[in-house]
Amino acid sequence: MSRPRVRWQIVAAGAGIVAVGVLAFAAYGGTGNGTPTQQLRTWVKGTGLGQSIGTVLGDAARVRAAVDEHADSGVLHTDCGVLLTDAQSANTELPTPNTQLTDLLSSGYALADDAGYDCYNSGGTNTKLLARSTKERIKAEAKLQQAVNLVAQLSGSTLSTTTTTVPDAGDI
């Protein structure tokens, strides 16, 4: 993956993300569709936010394990590439009906994207890139956890980040 090519793809994807985000915001709780809490709950359910966050966190955990186990470059390329792709995909769900939540998620997904990119390009041997990827992953996980906590605070419901089971009835 060359950095200039990836940057061009990110710019192109960014334009698409903005368009999709505007449509998602309108479809899943844009202004005028109930209270802010109702808008948020509708948006969270409509976008599958909990599962998206859970997927990115799960990817980050797999990357962490691969790095800790000194996995070969093929494993790292796969795990890091999946983190990169899933972070970019999750970012397409933005904006949310809440600016603070949008900022947290955007930051978390961008950090996860950077972590995946740096890890991928490390090939498992570039310790500088691996160290930077680790720091970015840790920061991404913290931002995404803050987002989960904010959703719970704003909605009054627990945000389930499971990717394998159906959330409890009280969860969103």
Please, which pLDDT band fits residue 163 given cuts at 50, 70 and 90?
confident
pLDDT of residue 69: 94
More confident position, 122 or 5: 122
Spatial separation of the C-alpha atoms in residues 154 and 8, rounded to whole Å: 36
Does 148 have pLDDT greater than 80? yes
Q: What mean pLDDT is reported for the chain?
A: 84
CB 116 within 8 A of CB 9: no
pLDDT of residue 4: 56
Using alpha carbons, list the distances in angstroms from residue 14 to 52, 92, 160.
18, 8, 27
CATH number of 3-27+36-155, picked from 1.10.3470, 3.90.120, 1.20.120, 3.30.70: 1.20.120
Q: What is the mean pLDDT of residues 85-94?
A: 97
Cα 103 to chain centroid, rounded? 12
Record the pTM: 0.78
Q: Is 160 helix (H, G, I), strand (E, B) or coil?
A: coil
pLDDT of residue 66: 95
Percentage of the chain beyond pLDDT 90 is: 73
Spatial separation of the C-alpha atoms in residues 143 and 29, rounded to whole Å: 23
pLDDT of residue 162: 82
pLDDT of residue 13: 47
Torsion, Cα 164 94 23 153, to 10 degrees, reads 80
Per-residue pLDDT reduced to its tens digit, 8-60 = 455 444 444 434 444 444 444 444 579 999 999 999 999 999 999 999 999 99
